[in-house]
Each structure stands twice: as C-alpha cells, then as structure tokens.
Amino acid sequence: MTMQLRPYQRAAIDAVYQHLREHDDNPCVVIPTGGGKTPLMATICRDAVGQWSGRVLILAHVKELLEQAVEKLQIIAPDLDVGVYSAGLKRRDCNRPVTVAGIQSVYRRACEFDPFDLIIVDEAHLIPPEGDGMYRRFLAEARVVNPHVRVIGLTATPFRMTTGMICGPGNILNAVCYEVGVKELIVQGYLSPLRTKAGQSRADTSGLHVRGGEFVAGEVEELMDDDGLVESACAEIVEQTRDRRAVLIFASGVNHGRHIVRVLKEQHGCACGFVCGQTPAKERDELLARFKQGGLKYLCNINVLTTGFDAPNVDCVALLRPTLSPGLYYQMVGRGFRLHPNKTDCLVLDFGGNVLRHGPVDDLQIKEPGEGDGDAPAKECPECHAVVHAAYARCPECGYEFPPPQREQHETSASTAGVLSGQVEDTEYRVSDVYFSVHTKRGAEPGHPRSMRVEYRTGLSSYTSEWVCFEHTGYARAKAEQWWRKRSNEPVPSNTDEAVDVCERGGICETHAITVRRVAGEQYDRIIDHELGSVPPRLDGSDERDDGNLPEYVYADDDIPF
C-alpha cells in the first residue's frame, strides 16, 4: 500500500534525506500544528526499515502523542512492526524495528535497547540547548550504543522561549532542512482558516513579575480570577460562539478555570467540562471523548491541552491567560488549525493580549536571548504621545498625570488583533464623545506643520484617533479639505488652531460611529469610514457654503505620507 502524501510532506521527506546524505549533523523539519507530521514519520520509518534494514525510535513527551503516533502508524503503514515503550501505556517493547517511546520512561535506559539508526523527536523544541535534560541524556547515551545514530527533529515552533532558536552548531539539532508556514497551508486548503473577533479593551500585564521568561503563575491567576472580568469574558464567549460547536478555553489556573466553568453554568446555562493536571485519568478521557464527539460544547483546561490534543472539531479557541511564551501562544491557537467537515473556520478569542504581544501565528515575534522578558518598561502619554519610562507618575514632557496602575488581568473583550499576518479586520464602533486638540509631531523642528488630533471615544476607556492636516500642503492638505467639507459649512480653516476652535464651538457635524481597520502585523489601526450626522448651519447664521464649486483633489490612496 502506498501512502498518499501531500506535496509539502513529500518535499519535507526529500529535504530530510538530502540533508542526511550531504551533512553529518542532524536536521529539523518545521510543519504547523495540524499539518500532518505522522505521515512523515511513517514514511521515514518504512524507508529506514524496508530499504536500509535500519531501526527507528520515535520519542515524544506526553501519552497522547504516543497513542496518536502508534494509532496513525498502524493505519498509514500497517506493515510496520511497531513497539511501544511507555510506563503510562504499560508496555516495554525493546527489540522492534520501530519503537515509539515516552522520554520520561526511557531517558535513563538507552543502553537497554539494541542500537538505533534513526531517532525521530516529536515536538523537538522541548530538547534543551544545554545541560542534562532528559532528551540530551538519552541522546548522549544512544550515541554510546551507536556513534553513528542520526536525529531528526519535528516541530511547529523551532524556538525556545528563553534561549531562542533550537537549531545551532552546538545543539542536538543543527539546521532546519524544511519549513512550511501556517498561511501557506491555509491557502492550499490543508489547515482551517482562522479569524479573530474585534474587541476594545487591552490587557495590562505591567504589574506581573517574570520568572524564567514567563509571567509568575501564581500572580497571573490571582490577578485574573476577578468576578467582573470573568463574567464579562464568559458573556462574550457565549455571545460569539452561538453558532460554534466546540469551544476550547485556556484558563490561568485551577481556581480561575473553575470560576469560568461556574459562571458559564450559573449565568448562561452552559455546561462546560474542566480538565487540569489533577483530573483523574478516567474522568479526563471521558470528558475529552464527549468533547470530540460533539456531546460537550465548552471545555476549559489548565496547562493540559496545549500539545498532544487532537480534536479537529475545535472551531473556537478562547485564550483567557496571558503568556510571554510565543510557543505556548502558538500551541494554544494551533488547537484550532485542523480541518473538520462541520467547520468552515476557527474563531480565536484572545482575552490575554497574546496576539498583540507575539504577533500573528504565521509571523511570530521571537526575542533572542538577552533582549529581555515581559512588557517593555515604557508607556505612552495619551496627551502628547511622548514615550516615557513606566515609573513616571507625571509626563515629563507635558505634565499629564498618569492614573494609578490598572489591575485589569485579562481583556474584558476579545482582542481585535489579527491572528494571521495581513489579516484585515474591519469593526464599527459607536462613538460617545469626540475630542479635538492641536498635535505637534514628536521631535519635529520648530515651524514643522501641526495637525488636528481628533479622538473618538468608543467605550469606557477606549479611544481611536485620526489626524487632520490643515497646515500641510499637497495631498495631506487636500485630504483635510475633503474631511472638512463633509462635516461643515464653515470655510476650510487655514491653520490647526482655527480648526480646533470651530470644532469645539459646534461648527462641524456629530460623528455617530467609526469603522476601524486593523491589519495583523501592522502597528497602528486606521479609521476607514465615519457615520456622520447632519451638517450644522454656519456659526454666523448665514447659509453660505464655502468653496462649493472648487474641484475635488484627486489622490492615489488613503495613507498620509509622513
């Protein structure tokens, strides 16, 4: 029987073989979660055993990955003689041509096996770059048994949070020989499209301490387990998932997770399963089976279902925990990558600011060691836009007094940030207030043209701004004139002070709503449309409209070039 490989899977296998032939080190293959790594392993195992009479060991770190590997190997390559070595699965096969093993069970037992020619490490980002971790210890001893053994790494995230990329000259894995991206596989129809729901509030994690490159777990749970925040997040989850079938929720701790489950049940009548490290195996297996089979819509977990959990029906992932780990963020979102007949896409609800922190999942912002952990120790003054150290209570530029640090733990509304680079999200917001001010560009030379900053309030503490450039020339001035004529019968102002004065005296129409465009991977949002009220009469009581017969300025696009 011949396995039907996807084009990128065939290309990955060819790249592995080419690397093994041309180099004497160890390659790594990068394929997104849900992209199908098992067919690669099965093909390599079949070739190694059938064509080269070799022996292969597949290493994984959790029982679910072992079970999936064995099950799929038997389906894809039933002719392979596959053994299992795992205390959790109560099997200790040592002499099969292909062995699937849990690293916890074998890391001190490499010398008890016959020599392996190939060792395939699933989730290879778990191999530590140095020290005496389980993977490094086993692989070092396996080389004693066979000095010529080669290692092949498979991973979706070829980096570690604290030490950067996993491949390097002194590491177990030395080079990425093949990589295919999330967006590429979505476009080709091999992964589920992702989309994010637009929200307003941003998480403030500046009060959290960092240990070992991650937020301190106890602090995260203490801060996030807040009645108002949990209730608002649960309300949004229920509202946004009315047409969803399988919603996987990631909480920040056991108490936080149980709180989420309780609110969903008591306030919304929604049954929600709960899985954590202390959940008995039988109960956990029953919950996961119900969830996968469609008998349970909501499932909340804590540090359990990030890797090794294969539920293709997941069509919504809700992140109610912030993380500094780009790998963990990717693994959580990746639970929704797989295709399923009953879903057209996967909705990502990010209440932890993770998309903004790490970037789109197909363009993660990976910090190299030494770049620092946690949020940058700076903040932006909302009045003059100066960026100052986070310790300032008063802006040294304009005197603005910053409010006390907010204790908001996760977003009360899901982030608007696109989960795929280039992803466009247009969202309409109702406007409750509008503020006008004179804005001088930071660092500008004396005499540099100023602009009018128009700030729209769209929530309790949510604002979106645009800048209207009356003092500029050419394109920017023409666009300012067009902006003004849509809103006012007054003459177009010649300078920014005049524009602000007229606006504050009621010389322009009200703005009822704005449409904001966010493009994933881009730093700033952009207002692309306005819902305007009636244009008011002239302030002096006349009915003359200024410049009504002047031709419109024709310009190429909507971006001001400065």
pLDDT of residue 392: 53
* More confident position, 59 or 404: 59
pLDDT of residue 175: 93
State pLDDT tens for residues 37-93: 888 999 999 999 988 899 999 998 877 778 888 888 888 788 889 988 888 788 888
Q: Is the pLDDT of residue 128 over 80?
A: no
State pLDDT tens for residues 197-230: 644 444 567 788 888 778 888 888 887 888 888 9
Q: Cβ(373)–Cβ(379) under 8 Å?
A: no
End-to-end CA distance of the chain: 62
Max mean pLDDT among 80-94, 391-405, 527-541 falls in 527-541
pLDDT of residue 375: 42
Beta bridge partners of 298: 247, 272
CA-CA distances (angstroms) from residue 443 to 217, 376, 397?
A: 40, 21, 12
pLDDT of residue 191: 93
For 373, the token pair is 């952990």
Q: Is the pLDDT of residue 359 over 80?
A: no
Which among 277, 356, 285 has a CA at the least distance from the CA of 319? 356
Lowest mean pLDDT among 64-73, 199-208, 325-334, 498-507: 199-208
| Confidence bin at 385 (pLDDT 50/70/90) | very low
pLDDT of residue 377: 35
> How much is the mean pLDDT over the chain?
82
pLDDT of residue 561: 29
pLDDT of residue 559: 35
State pLDDT tens for residues 4-36: 899 999 999 999 999 999 999 999 999 998 998
| Confidence bin at 130 (pLDDT 50/70/90) | low
Percent share of the chain, pLDDT over 70: 81
Annotate 510-530 with three-state secondary structure: CEEEEEEEEECCCCCCEEEEE
Q: Is the pLDDT of residue 379 over 60?
A: no
* More confident position, 382 or 338: 338
Count of residues for the chain? 562
Q: What's the half-sphere exposure (Cβ side, CA atoms, 13 Å) at 370?
A: 0
> Residue type for 418, please?
G
pLDDT of residue 400: 65
**What dihedral do alpha carbons 102, 133, 214, 124 form, nearest 10°?**
-50
Domains in the chain: ranges and CATH: 7-180 (3.40.50.300), 194-389 (3.40.50.300), 424-532 (no CATH)
Q: Is the pLDDT of residue 152 over 90?
A: yes
Write down the H helix ranges in 172-270. 182-187, 217-224, 227-240, 254-268
pLDDT of residue 297: 97
pLDDT of residue 197: 65
| Confidence bin at 98 (pLDDT 50/70/90) | very high
pLDDT of residue 29: 96
* More confident position, 77 or 489: 489
pTM (two decimals): 0.66
* More confident position, 441 or 538: 538
| Confidence bin at 422 (pLDDT 50/70/90) | low
